[in-house]
Amino acid sequence: MRFDIFTLFPQMFAGVFDESILQRARAAGLIEIAVHNIRDVTTDKHHVADDSSYGGGGGMVMKADPIVTAVESVLQLNETPRAYPLILLSPQGRLFTQALAQDLARYPRLALICGHYEGVDDRVREILGATEVSIGDYVLTGGEIPAMVIVDAVSRYIAGVVGQPTAPLQDSHATGLLEYPQYTRPLEFRGLRVPDILLSGHHGEVARWRRREALRRTLERRPDLLARAELTEEDKQFLRGLGWQAS
């Protein structure tokens, strides 16, 4: 899969994709990441890519011309119809979720535009047909960090990137619940022992324990997720025993 990232600050990505799982995935040719400097297409002496906002107000706005020119040039949109998502990172966008990450991984390519300053001229969204996406209900200094988050989350669903193919399907949020507790050696650490059930070798009981602990943890930390999770009658009975009341 190829990721094209359009930004005013390409150096922010230096090193982020050169470590750990993503670095190995790039070396193996499973993913390709290209970072494009929007300023490279500007024609003025100072490579200006932002300007003051019409109507007044504080902060600068990213200009439409450099962004649209850069995206159309790299993606060759005037020659080939776009058959993959083009995302504009914005706090006003659709919330990025595990389900969306899995959906985006189906495409051979993904383009990301990093907003910055006060925002992006809205004509960028209209002309390019970009989908606005936000990684959370808060505001960052720019879309560069959200772009990194999306590349990381989407890459985990690409075959071969994660050593255990089924691992992403068991992560927190992948099933609608938070993940169960994890343990490794030593067996006991500072008086805290690994639950005996995990040492039993009984796979059915281990799976049942993990499901219940995922339910318990979700109820304690993110009870809002239970309203959307797929729950069996056994799940509901267990949760009721913990004081849960379905809305």
What is the spatial distance between Cα 38 and Cα 26, in angstroms, rounded to a whole number? 23
What is the Cα 68 distance to its own chain's centre?
Answer: 24
Which residues are known catalytic residues?
A: 91, 118, 156, 171
Which CA distances in Å does 168 have to 78, 153, 156, 178, 219?
37, 9, 7, 13, 21
Helices (H), the chain: 20-27, 64-75, 98-104, 123-128, 144-155, 203-221, 233-241
3-state secondary structure 49-95: CEEECCCCCCCEEECHHHHHHHHHHHHCCCCCCCCCCEEEEEEEEEE
Hey, what are 203's tokens?
């796979």
Which CA distances in Å does 9 have to 112, 145, 198?
13, 11, 47
Torsion of CA 97, 103, 106, 108, to 10 degrees: -60
